[in-house]
Amino acid sequence: MIWNAVIFGPGETPFEDGTFRLLLTFDEQYPNKPPSVKFLSKMFHPNVYANGELCLDILQNRWSPTYDVAAVLTSIQSLLHDPNPNSPANSEAASLYSNNMKEYIRRVRQTVELSWVDSNEVDDVDNDKQQDSAE
């Protein structure tokens, strides 16, 4: 089963006002096995790989079948708020986060702006589909 999800950048962080699309893939072993989660939106973050996959403990070795999708999405928002530069998936983002916060924030704000374009393109496609089906 595949789900699309959207999370909003947490307030009072460089990700504020961002609209980030995710893809959650559940296999037949869910909830005993975590879903795979991947950002579809471009993301510059110490714990997000270039392909959009996340380095997040609850999606790996700390998974519990008691976690639901809301817990996963909340954990991802929390990760945006509090990156873990000691477990980097993106070494450049981790280095900037630790050593050059001004540049890190600038790069994150670029991804926030891209998320608006990305989100609008999805809305345009959805609107086109609705118009096509109405005709």
Catalytic residue flag (residue 80): no
pLDDT in tens, 14-36: 999 999 999 999 999 999 999 99
Q: Which of 69, 29, 72 is nearest to 54 (CA)?
A: 72
**Cis ω for the linkage preceding 34 (within 30 of 0):** no
**What's the mean pLDDT in 94-118?**
96
Question: The tokens 């993106």 sit on which residue?
Answer: 90
Write down the pLDDT at residue 28.
97
Please tell me the predicted confidence (pLDDT) of residue 119.
65
Please give the residue range of the domain that contains residue 20: 2-134
Global pTM value: 0.85
> DSSP labels for 78-132?
HHHHS--TTS-SSHHHHHHHHH-HHHHHHHHHHHHHHHHHHHHHHHHHHHHHHHH
Q: Which residue has the tokens 């008691």?
A: 66
Task: Tell me how far apart the alpha carbons of residues 103 and 90 are, in angstroms, rounded to a whole number.
Answer: 15
Residue 46 to residues 82, 122, 123, 127, Cα–Cα distance (Å): 10, 26, 29, 34
Predicted pLDDT at 81: 96
> Could you tell me the CATH number of the domain that includes residue 76?
3.10.110.10
6, 40, 55, 122: the catalytic one is 55
Instruction: Quote the mean pLDDT of the chain.
Output: 91
Whole-angstrom distance, CA of residue 114 vs CA of residue 70: 25
Sign of CA dihedral 23, 71, 8, 86: negative
* Confidence (pLDDT) at 89: 98
- Tell me how many domains the chain contains: 1
